[in-house]
Structure 1
Amino acid sequence: MTTLTLPWPPSNNTYYRRVGAKTLISEKGRQYAKTVSQLCLISKVAKREGRLQVVITACPPDRRKRDLDNLLKGLLDALTHGGAWQDDSQIDDLRIVRGPIQVGGTVSIEIAEITQCA
């Protein structure tokens, strides 16, 4: 199992930007992906190739109401970019739970390979 602690990700509301007819990753989203890539490299995260279980504990930065599902797309894309797996389509079991408030906010990611029952 691999465990990583990452900074609080941008929500879907700020991860993407519309430019004309195109949807692009915002500057905030690109910077987050770069930070996650650096942390994956420092933590020597090995690229997983099999089927995966991912458990995310999201510790928000404050008491504001937040939809946890708004964190997933940017976070999972950043982990793909950072080399945690080949593609997030490998994830068969994805869980997200709310943790305690932490200054600045963090997300703890547990990644484990799973076997399929025949």
Structure 2
Amino acid sequence: MMLARVQLPWPPSATSPNASGQGKWRSKADAAKGYKLACWALCEAEKIRPVDAIAVDVLVTFCPPSKRRYDLDNALARAKQGLDAVAEAIAVDDSHWRRSTLERGEPCRDGAVIVHIMEAEA
């Protein structure tokens, strides 16, 4: 059963593990913090509330802003702070996300990370 769905913005390139260069850790940290705050605000605006579950299954669909190739592990790393914001909004720590499924979606304007929260399967 679906508990929640939220569409997050595409994460900024500065949050990529590949973006860190010598002396640029501060800009990466600032970008990560800004992305988490933006995602938290979006969860609030979408009225994402705590769910009545100890554990959940999560489906994350990455819809990039262009047809450029990307790998899912880097996309996940870029979106980490946004997913942390979702975990806080639903009040289920991401260590209790039993099954996390990543998938590629179709490119869309400005990009998006769509997160579906479902009851954990037994």
Name the TM-score class by shorter chain.
0.7 to 0.9
Contact 1:58 1:99 in 2 (8 A): yes
**Whole-angstrom CA distance in 1 between matches of 2:21 and 2:81:** 15
Kept after mapping to 1: 8 A contact 2:40/2:82: yes
Task: For residues 47-103 of structure 1, give each alpha carbon's deviation from its aligned partner in whole angstroms, at most 9, with x where no partner exists.
Answer: 245111000111111122211111224534333335233421011111111111112
Shift of 1:25: 5.6
Higher strand fraction: Structure 1 or Structure 2?
Answer: 1
Give the partner amino acid of 1:5: Q
Q: Which residue of 2 aligns with 1:47?
A: 50
Instruction: Name stretches of at least 5 consecutive residues in structure 2 with no aligned partner.
Output: none
**Is there any run of 5+ residues in structure 1 with no aligned partner, and where?**
none
Which shifted more, 95-104 or 22-31?
A: 22-31
User: Are the equivalent residues in 2 in contact too, given 1:17–1:26 (CA < 8 A)?
Assistant: no
Task: Choose between structure 1 and 2: higher helix proportion.
Answer: 2
Asked if the contact 1:5–1:107 (Cα under 8 Å) also holds between the matched residues in 2, the reply is yes
Q: What percent of counterpart residues are identical?
A: 28
- List structure 1 segments (4+ residues) > 6 angstroms apart after TM superposition: 16-19
Relative to the length of structure 2, the TM-score reads 0.76
Distance 1:17 1:32 in 2: 19
- The equivalent of 2:29 in structure 1 is 26
TM-score using structure 1 length: 0.78
Q: What letter is aligned with 2:17? A: N
In structure 2, the partner of 1:7 is 9
- For 1:87, the equivalent position in structure 2 comes to 93
- CA distance in structure 2 between the aligned counterparts of 1:26 and 1:72, rounded to whole angstroms: 16
**1:31 counterpart letter in structure 2:** G
Q: Distance in 1 between matches of 2:56 and 2:71?
A: 24
- RMSD of the TM alignment (CA)? 2.6
How far apart in 1 are the matches of 2:77 and 2:56?
16
Shift of the 35–62 alpha-carbon distance from structure 1 to 2, 3 Å rule, reads same
